[in-house]
Chains A and B, each alone.
Chain A
Amino acid sequence: DQQVKQNSPSLSVQEGRISILNCDYTNSMFDYFLWYKKYPAEGPTFLISISSIKDKNEDGRFTVFLNKSAKHLSLHIVPSQPGDSAVYFCAASLGNEKLTFGTGTRLTIIP
């Protein structure tokens, strides 16, 4: 049973526009969520996180939104830049337990 799902395996966005990456989870007890970015042949890099007590966290061009009632997490990147092309993983954790990762979404920014 996959507890964290990223239903879009790929996404293409024009440079300068907004990229929206989505993530759904099934365990309502998750209390901490993260987004990671991964370039080919490199390990994932932490991008941004949000605690379940918040519904929004912003860091520069990156904003993460949390909708607890819908068990939905999204990452907004605006404006999108060519260097944002990568695979994005969302992850969730419960209390002191390990992170559970989604399958990833490949984002391609079109110049």
Chain B
Amino acid sequence: ETGVTQTPRHLVMGMTNKKSLKCEQHLGHNAMYWYKQSAKKPLELMFVYSLEERVENNSVPSRFSPECPNSSHLFLHLHTLQPEDSALYLCASSQEFKDTQYFGPGTRLTVL
């Protein structure tokens, strides 16, 4: 596998479910990001990890919980989501914090 991979590609969950999104980068990068893309809105940066430390949390509700166990893996744990959380969730990585980001294919999340 090369680049940035995300699993699952599609996820449908109820509001009471708990699920996790997984991101893995094979590029040797030091920074990883979670973005949310909703229709007709700018990409919203949710979390940034640099060298496995969370460096940014953009006022994201606590029902989204990130985890970065090592520099290659990033998780987004989801619980008690709302229908308005339905969106495309994108993971990205970059060599350093400011560098060009490389994106995964995204997970299309639908909350019923």
Chain A residues in the interface with B (C-beta under 8 A): 2, 4, 9, 32, 34, 36, 41-46, 49, 89, 93, 95-104
Contacts and interface: CB of A to CB of B under 8 A. Distances in A.
Contact of A98 (B40, B56, B103, B104): B56
Interface of B: 4, 6, 9, 33, 40-43, 45, 48, 56, 90-92, 96-98, 100-106, 108
Contact of A96 (B4, B98, B102, B104): B98
Contacts of B90: 43-44
A35 to B, nearest CB: 11
B100 A43 contact: no
Given A32-B98, A93-B98, A43 B103 contact: yes
Contacts of B48: 98
Contact of B105 (A2, A43, A49): A43
